[in-house]
Amino acid sequence: MQIADVAGRSEQGAQSAPRGIAEFIDDFCGTRVATPEDLLTAAAQFQMAADGLDRGTPLQTACATAADKLFETGG
């Protein structure tokens, strides 16, 4: 995941990655182009990313929150 790579390289990246994820999710969930299948597929990817990160870190929390929102919107 590109965002995780950036976050791992610097403290600034670690702070901006969760914000970038939230902005992406808001845009993605708000488009008419995204089908429920698209949303659920993205949700699964964000959940896998969250599961692979240390629990409670800002990036892990952002990925888990993104997954929850995508699952809710797509379901």
What separation, in Å, do the N-terminal and C-terminal C-alpha atoms of the chain show? 24
Is 32 a residue whose pLDDT tops 70? yes
* Under 8 Å between Cβ of 61 and 19: no
Tell me the domain boundaries of the chain. Answer: 2-74
**pLDDT at 12 (0 to 100):** 57
This prediction has a pTM of 0.77
- How confident is the model over 10-31, as pLDDT tens digits? 555 556 788 889 988 988 888 8
* Under 8 Å between Cβ of 13 and 54: no
- How confident is the model over 40-52, as pLDDT tens digits? 999 999 999 999 9
